[in-house]
Structure 1
Amino acid sequence: MIKIPQSTKGLIFDLDGTVANTMQNHFTSWRHAILPHGIDFNQELFLSLTGMPRHATIAKLNEMFGTSMNLQEVGDAKATHYKSLAHTTQEIEVVTDVIKRYHTILPMSIGTGSTKAGAKYTLETIGYSQFFDIVITADDIEKPKPHPETFLKCADLMGIKPKDCIVFEDGELGMIAAREVGMAVIDVNDYFKQEFVI
């Protein structure tokens, strides 16, 4: 069970790979979209980019591999493939137990690199929409993780100082973002081991 320090005043949750077990589906869909362009989109590469919005991920891959993938076309291919798998998403219980335990006790929000529509669908699929009035997505910010804007917006809307928040994250970029503004981090990987199947 994940323990929350008594001094904590607000909880912020990443969504994909933290609250919802979507990462295998994202990995499969990225491989489907990227492999035709000659990049071996493997687990290590995927994990290094986790938390970035779709178009930012493709732009970063273009920069890394010298490719000129079309952001819209490749992004749409990834999104379409993901939609065909999204209904299979399940909750990550070690984290959703915390959500249920602290609902109405501490303010809670979602801070995700997903789109607004994607986040809404994921939360509905796992049955957790009713727990979150505040959901900050890639559509609500200018600068994605590892910039802390996502989490700062969450804290601001909850009315909590950053130093009094705990962020639940599975992605390195999100952990960097949270720590940069003095937020405590709970690394979900310490409680839930993700194994990817190619």
Structure 2
Amino acid sequence: MNSSKSFPQGIVFDCDGTLADTMPLHWQAWQTISRRYQLHFPEDRFYSLGGVPSRDILKMLGEEQKIALDHLAVAREKEAEYWPLIAQVEPIHIVADVAHANHGKIPMAVASGGTRHVIEEVLKHLNIRHLFNAVVTSEDVANQKPAPDIFVEAAHRIGVPPQHCRAYEDTDLGMQAIRAAGMEAVDVRHLLSANGKKSA
């Protein structure tokens, strides 16, 4: 039996949609970018790609729709649209409470498909950055979710073997990544649903 199920030695959290209620704000920024570049990007697909870096999404959309764009430059534009919205971000309390409850007891990390300066800013805005021993972002690994790399790296940085970690996520791709890393996976959507709150 995986010993992490009862007594995890480390905890890893996704950020967007897990610790922070950012997804509707990201969608707002994406709508602006989609209009600007005439990209077809429906809301259901946006949510299904939670955890995938913007640059990768833009590269995929451009290739699929035969639209020539500099995916790295446009990803920076999307980030610029999102940046002023960070002030509106609220915590997802049921998950943030887990981080608060375990602070100082076991090491914890954030593993996010976002960019470092944005994720750090969100965590600081929510006044929870100090809870985490490490923050791992899309810039720190070559292979993104659903590959396990980001969760494996997070476990490495807090000094806990992945099989002894519990991880929290809110997307199918993220859950795949956690399981591929050998960690116990907690689906935040189920927590929110059980708590009577709307899940993303």
Normalised to the residue count of structure 1, the TM-score between the two structures is 0.90
1:194 aligns with 2:162: no
**8 Å CA contact retained: 1:35, 1:41:** no
Aligned residues: 192
SS in 2 for 1:186: strand
> How far apart, in 1, do the equivalents of 2:109 and 2:178 lie?
14
Shift, 1:7, TM fit: 2.9
Note the alpha carbon deviations across 1:121-170, whole angstroms, 9 max, x for none: 00011110110120001121111111111100111112212111111001
SS in 2 for 1:120: helix
Residue of structure 1 equivalent to 2:41: 41
Residues 61-140 of structure 1 correspond to what in structure 2 (within 5 A)? 61-140=61-140
Instruction: Quote the RMSD (CA, aligned, Å).
Output: 1.6
Shift, 1:63, TM fit: 3.1
Identity of aligned residues (%): 30
Any stretches of 5+ residues in structure 1 without a counterpart? Answer: none
> How far apart, in 2, do the equivalents of 1:23 and 1:184 lie?
24
SS in 1 for 2:135: strand
Bigger mean CA deviation after superposition, 57-66 or 150-159: 57-66
Residue of structure 1 equivalent to 2:176: 176
Note the alpha carbon deviations across 1:60-99, whole angstroms, 9 max, x for none: 2123333222213321221111012111111100001101
Residue of structure 2 equivalent to 1:18: 18
Question: Match for 1:194: what amino acid?
Answer: S
> How far apart, in 1, do the equivalents of 2:151 and 2:111 lie?
6
**8 Å CA contact retained: 1:113, 1:144:** yes
Note the alpha carbon deviations across 1:176-196, whole angstroms, 9 max, x for none: 11111221111111123335x
> How far apart, in 1, do the equivalents of 2:100 and 2:76 lie?
34
> How far apart, in 2, do the equivalents of 1:5 and 1:177 lie?
17
> How far apart, in 2, do the equivalents of 1:101 and 1:155 lie?
19
Normalised to the residue count of structure 2, the TM-score between the two structures is 0.89
Bigger mean CA deviation after superposition, 116-125 or 37-46: 37-46
Any stretches of 5+ residues in structure 2 without a counterpart? Answer: 193-197
Shift, 1:5, TM fit: 3.7
